[in-house]
Amino acid sequence: MSGELINMGDLAGHVSDGSEYHVPQFMGHLPELPTICGVQITRFMLVELVVAVLMIAIFFPLAAKIKSGKPVRGRFWNLAEVFLLYLRDEVMTPAIGKKDVGRFAPFLWTLFFFILFCNLAGLIPWFGASPTGALATTSVLAASTFVVLVGSGMKKFGVVGFWLGQVPSMELPFALAVVLKPMIFVIEVVGLFIKHVVLAVRLLANMFAGHLVLAVLLGFIAGTADYLALWVGVTVGSVAMSVALSLLELFVAFLQAYIFMFLASIFIGMAQHQH
């Protein structure tokens, strides 16, 4: 991009999924990721695999320590336990209820830490961006929440009972109920789908936009490389702004994981405690 205007398409390519990693020229060119059984392996797939392995490496030993009945010792393990207990007691329980929270806590914990680790991966150089900046990833997360919500609701109330329960209990004259209740049913069902679509899109938009802005700021450095006097000023300003924005992105990584899990808890709680 030296001496050229910043190409937004090129920058977007650096923060979206792909089959190769963009690294500095002095590191050479990394080979393109392979295709396995007709499926092209991408950067985000590898990042998600690393995140999954990391979660197993952390939480399986922690679960074993807790199951043993002995106090969890060590700063790292205590910190992990504090996160788990806070999310369960302060977020999930008020939304779902003490009686049912135990059934959904493992799923919601998994959601939170998977999203968090994927978000944080986007701050590591040469990863390009976080997998949560791709619609495919956020859609699967939202769809998983939808399946858990609907499946648990139908298990508790029955298939017919769950869907009819989307309509609030109202004492209406028969003639009015015949007209209003079908309309409310359609609105509630459509709203149920829209909630989960929004759940996917808002996470995608927040993560992709932040990494794109970072790429644009750093792109100014390459764009002014042919003009030394201008390049020095732009470099200092771009690096300073990128550091500040990275710190904000660190906060956003935690915030977006929390919000996704918080909304998922509310949606599941609404399914478990109908109108």
Q: Mind listing the pLDDT tens digit of every residue in the chain (275 residues)?
A: 444 444 544 455 556 677 776 665 556 566 777 888 888 888 888 889 999 999 999 999 998 888 888 788 889 999 999 999 999 999 999 999 899 999 999 999 999 999 999 988 877 776 656 888 888 899 999 999 999 999 999 999 899 988 988 888 777 777 887 888 889 899 989 999 999 999 999 888 888 776 666 666 666 666 666 666 666 676 777 777 767 777 778 888 898 999 999 999 999 999 888 76
Backbone angles phi, psi at 167, to 5 degrees: -90, 125
Q: Does any domain span residue 1?
A: no
Which contiguous run of DSSP H or E holds residue 244?
Answer: helix 228-272
Q: What span, in angstroms and rounded, lies between the C-alpha atoms of 143 and 153?
A: 15
Q: Which 3 state secondary structure label does DSSP give 42?
A: coil
Which one-letter DSSP state was computed for residue 132? G
Q: Does any domain span residue 84?
A: yes
Q: Does any domain span residue 224?
A: yes
Q: Does any domain span residue 216?
A: yes
Which contiguous run of DSSP H or E holds residue 45?
Answer: helix 43-67
Task: Give the pLDDT of residue 45.
Answer: 87
Backbone angles phi, psi at 36, to 5 degrees: -115, 120
Contact 139, 198 (CB under 8 A): no
Q: Does any domain span residue 264?
A: yes
Domain assignment of residue 235, given as a range: 8-272
Task: Give the pLDDT of residue 140.
Answer: 94
Q: Does any domain span residue 190?
A: yes
Q: Does any domain span residue 249?
A: yes
Q: Does any domain span residue 3?
A: no
Q: What is the pTM of this model?
A: 0.84
Bridge partners of residue 35, in order along the sequence: 40
Distance, CA of 235 to chain centre: 32
Task: Give the pLDDT of residue 1.
Answer: 44
**The one-letter amino acid at 41:** I
**What's the burial of 213, exposed, middle or buried (CB within 10 Å: 0-12/13-18/19+)?**
middle
The total number of structural domains that make up the chain? 1
Would you list the DSSP string of 63-92? HHHHHTTSPP-SHHHHHHHHHHHHIIIIII
Q: Return the closest-CA partner of residue 130 out of 262, 250, 8.
A: 250
